Amino acid sequence: MKLHLPSFYTLVFAQVFLFFFINLQWLQANASSGKATDQLALLKIKQGMISDPHGIFRSWNDSLHFCNWTGITCGRRHQRVTSLVLEGQNLFGSISPYIGNLSFLMLINLQNNSLTGEIPQEVGNLFRLQEFLVNNNSLHGTIPLKLTECSQLKTIDFRRNNIAGKIPAELGSLTKLEIFAFRNNNLTGEIPPSLGNLSSLTVFSASFNDLEGNIPNEMGRLTNLNIFTIAANRISGIIPPSFFNITSLTLLSALGSQLSGSLPDNVGLVDPTSSKEHRF
């Protein structure tokens, strides 16, 4: 009796098929797990809100897929949350640490609400995050050091809160950062020289804080800088000569600080209460 053994190519094909089948099963299970993680994170964010006067969280329930919840946008491919936009809804509450589990998140827009509490360190898990907008709230605590792990960040807008403490020197690693806006907070200490590494920065806004010391000469390396506002602080010393290298600089607001020295001809010195500076 002759045995018909499978050919070499048949065995290879079977192994390849089995490999792809197992990986497909793993990917599907992983995607399903990721979606469940996103939904749980969003429900925890909802839980952290004490008051929702406009009822935007009514849609946040099992009758709808979470990608269809108010303020949520998901990516088409993975159906994972990519943006959280709850701007101007008069929300009162705090930002849940579970926000750090929305690993596909690229935009957080919670501006113009009444949020309190601290910004959770868990935001450092959001390695895809590009815009973080929480201006016009009542947040306190310090700038989360873990924020430096969000290497894709382009905009940090924490204006008009109660953020205190020093500007972390580690923020100088965010080389894609374009807007650094911290006007009207309670920041102390000096401007770290490491911020001169923010080669993409166009706006540095830190008026109405309690910053001190000199403007680091390293800030003159910011060749894309358009706006530099440090009015109503305790900044002293001279305007660094390196600022003459920033041909893109058009607006500098430093009234209320103890600075001396001249300005480049292309730079306008404005009052910190002017509408021009008030944008940042």
Residue-wise pLDDT for 91-121, tens only, equals 999 999 999 999 999 999 999 999 999 999 9
**Reported confidence tier of residue 172, pLDDT bands at 50, 70, 90:** very high
pLDDT surpasses 50 at 235: yes
Is 173 contained in some domain? yes
Q: What is the mean pLDDT of residues 231-247?
A: 89
Average pLDDT score over residue span 65-76: 96
**81-85 and 72-74 as β-strands: parallel, antiparallel, unpaired?**
antiparallel
pLDDT of residue 23: 42
Residue 256 — pLDDT band, cuts 50, 70, 90?
confident
- pTM for this prediction: 0.84
pLDDT of amino acid 258: 79
Q: What is the average pLDDT score of the chain? A: 87
Kindly tell me if the per-residue pLDDT of 51 is higher than 90. yes
List the CATH number of the domain containing 31. Answer: 3.80.10.10
User: What b/e sequence results for 169-182 when a residue is b if at least 16 CB atoms lie within 10 Å of its CB, and e otherwise?
Assistant: bebbebeebbbbbb
Average pLDDT over residues 13-18: 47
Bridge partners, 268 (sequence order)? 251
pLDDT for the residue 21: 40
Residue 3 has pLDDT above 90, yes or no: no
Structural domain contains residue 7: no
pLDDT at 10 over 70: no
Look at strands 155-157 and 210-213 and give their pairing. Answer: unpaired
Q: Which of 6-10, 23-27, 113-117, 123-127 has the lowest mean pLDDT?
A: 23-27
Contact status, residue 99 vs residue 122, Cβ threshold 8 Å:
yes
pLDDT in tens, 84-94: 999 999 999 99
Quote the number of domains for the chain.
Answer: 1
Asked whether residue 5 is domain-assigned, the answer is no
Question: What value does the mean pLDDT take over residues 171-200?
Answer: 97
Q: Does the structure show a pLDDT above 80 at 270? A: no
pLDDT over 70, % of the chain: 81
172 part of a folded domain: yes
Please report whether residue 4 resides in a domain.
no
Summarised one tens digit per residue, pLDDT across range 209-221 is 999 999 999 999 9
Per-residue pLDDT at 244: 82
Indicate the residue type of 137: N
The pLDDT score that the predictor gives to residue 26 is: 35
203 within a domain of the structure (yes/no): yes
The answer as to whether 1 is a domain residue is: no
C-alpha neighbours within 13 Å on the C-beta side of residue 81: 30
Cα–Cα distance measured from residue 6 to residue 15, given in angstroms and rounded to the nearest whole number: 12
Classify residue 50: in a domain, yes or no: yes
Q: Domain residues for 198?
A: 12-278
Asked if the model's pLDDT at residue 193 lies above 70, the reply is yes
pLDDT score of 129 more than 70: yes
Please say if the pLDDT value at position 271 is more than 80. no
pLDDT tens figures, 18-34: 444 434 343 343 444 55
